[in-house]
Every structure is written in C-alpha cells, then in structure tokens.
Amino acid sequence: MKLDEIFKDWIFRYQYIYNSRLTDKKKTRFIKSLFTDIMKFRQDVQIIEYNSDKGSSLRNIYVGDIETADEIVCTYYDTAPNFLGDYHLFDRNKQKASTTNFILLSSTLTILLGVVGTYLYIKFIADKFEFLSIQTLGLVGLYGLYFLMLSNVVKGNILNKNLIRNTSSILTILDLIRSTSNTKRAYAFIDDGCYGDRGLEPLLNQKKKRAKIIYLDSIGAQAPLHIEENIQINETQASENITYVFSANPSESDDYTAYFLSKKDLKEKKINIENISKLNDFLKG
C-alpha cells in the first residue's frame, strides 16, 4: 500500500491533533474532523445520538444505509482509559481489573505528591505568605495544574497512546470509504467501544437480521492479522454474524486461544501499513 498525501495527513491529524477521544469535548472535535474527511468522498454520513445508561449520550457515525446493508464494517473510536499490563482482547473482566488497578495506583501516587508538596510548603514557605505576591500567584497556578492533573488521573486519562488502539482501525475504514463504492456495504464508527457493547447495541438493533458485521480492532499493530467469527466475550453469548478482524499476538491456554497486545505494541509510533493493505485488499475483493 502506497502512502499518498491524503493518508499521511490523516495519520498526522488523528495521531497528534485528534488523538485523545476520552472526554465529550474531545470526542466532539474528533467527530467534526472525521465528518469533514468523509464528506469529501461520501454524502450519506449520519451522526446518531443515543442515550446511555452512564447518564451521557453516545454518538455513532454511520456511512451508508445501515438498515439495508448486507455488510457493515465498523470499529470503535473512543480512547481507552490507561491500564496496567497487556491489552487482552475479548477479556473485558481482565481489562476492567487492570484499568481499575492503574487508576487506583496512579491516583494514590498523585494524592501523595499533593500531600508532600503541601507539607513542604507549610514547613518552609507558609510563614512568608503575602497575598498578592508573585510567589503566591505562582502557588495558586501550581495548585490549579495539580488538580487538573488529578482530575485526568482519576479518569485514567494520562499517558494514553491510541495510534494502534484504535486510530489505526479508523484509518483503515477511512481508506476503504474513499477507495470503494460498494452500495451493499455500510460503515460505522462506534462510541464507547472500549467499555463494551453500548455503542454497538444500537447498530445491532437497526441492521437487518442477516447483515454481517466486520468489527476491526488494532489493525495497525506490529502483530499477526487474525479473522475470527462469533467470539464469546467472557460470560456473554457469542454474537452471530459478527466477524472480528484484529492484529494481536496469540496466547495459548488449555481451553482456547487468547489474544493480547503488550504495552510495547500499543506504544508503537508507526502503524503496520502491511496489515491495513492486506485487509483492505481482502474487503475490496
């Protein structure tokens, strides 16, 4: 696959400018950019908002008619909160635990940092306090930055790297949209995919019964490309007519093959163009 100027521009913008998609504000910025990019090639783009049991709304972006399509290629666009250890595909219980552990550990360390900093201030500087001094204004600024950092830490929104998971899959679909004109295929960018199926459920409810869903994850990882059908995720029943396409390393267990990506895999600064090219050639054919 030859990288043209359009694809290079997408890589730059979605890796560096619209790279974080964890908060509503940043998701909105991303959606506006994605909508503009798609409209250069397709006019049948919709942004559909759904209510979520989390108290906030979900926003899915659909390209084509998802109610009549025979095939829907989709991926999630939100940024996952940070976590400890590897990314275990299809094991949400393990991912939830590693995310919780990261947030607890990082929050504890950040609070301890604040306590130590306050203690040192009281011990060595507080007796020189002047209300309108540069020193006091600087201290107020430092505390402001500290609480801003703490608010991000408790959400897991710190040191996130999402070029591989899941910007690379977004770029894969963008390239498909601009290079194919299959009227029987639709595309979907799903919200809240890092947390489960909340964003996928409205799509499953709206598609026709026999429509096939091709669900992409971490396509650009430096790992083998896999195609698996009807995967069972933890205790949930395997969804019919869903084909999962992903790049990951296999980990054999006694009962089944698990898949994972290490932290090193997830922090790669370059995407695996070969995997994207293989998948797009397969879907175009």
- Compute the distance between CA of residue 59 and CA of residue 50 in angstroms, rounded to an integer: 6
What mean pLDDT is predicted for residues 21-40?
Answer: 93
| Domain CATH number, residue 264 | 3.40.630.10
Same domain membership, residue 182 and residue 141: no
The whole-angstrom separation of Cα 23 and Cα 54 is 13
Same domain, 108 and 208: no
86, 260 Cβ separation under 8 angstroms: yes
Q: Determine the average pLDDT of the residues in 26-30.
A: 93
The number of distinct structural domains making up the chain is 2
Do 51 and 190 belong to one domain? yes
Q: CA dihedral in degrees (92, 47, 206, 238; nearest 10)?
A: -10
As to burial, measured by CB atoms within 10 angstroms (0-12 exposed, 13-18 middle, 19+ buried), residue 145 is: exposed
Please tell me which of 55-69, 116-130, 244-258 the model is most confident about, judged by mean pLDDT: 55-69
At 114, the amino acid letter reads: G
Q: Is the pLDDT of residue 230 over 80?
A: no
Q: Which two structure tokens, joined as six digits, stand for 59?
A: 């926003």
CA gap 272, 222 in Å, rounded: 6
- Average pLDDT, rounded, for the chain: 85
**Whether 126 and 65 share a structural domain:** no
- 1 — pLDDT class (breaks 50, 70, 90): low
Range of the domain at 185: 5-80+160-284
pLDDT at 256 over 70: no
| Residue carrying the six token digits 């974080």 | 20
- Same domain for 202 and 271, yes or no, is yes
Asked if 212 and 263 sit in the same domain, the reply is yes
Say yes or no: 174 and 273 in one domain. Answer: yes
Query: Taking the alpha carbons of 98, 99, 104, 110 in that order, is the dihedral positive or negative?
Result: positive
Angstrom distance (rounded) from CA 67 to CA 258: 33
Beta pairing partners, 75: 189
**Concatenated DSSP letters for 97-144?**
HHHHHHHHHHHHHHHHHHHHHHHHHHHHTGGG--TTSHHHHHHHHHHH
Q: Do 72 and 98 lie in a common domain? A: no
Q: Which residue has the tokens 């942004």?
A: 47
Contact 75, 190 (CB under 8 A): yes
More confident residue, 164 or 143: 164
Residue in 198, 170, 197, 205 with CA at minimum distance from that of residue 35 = 170
Residues 104 and 215 in one domain: no
Which two tokens mark 52?
């979520």
> In the prediction, which pLDDT does 258 show?
86
Average pLDDT for 149-177: 85
Q: Are 259 and 250 in contact (CB under 8 A)?
A: yes
| Percent above pLDDT 70 for the chain | 87
DSSP single-letter state for residue 65: -
How far is Cα 70 from Cα 184, in angstroms, rounded to an integer?
A: 5
Higher local confidence (pLDDT), 114 or 70: 70
The last residue of a domain, from among 127, 153, 179: 153
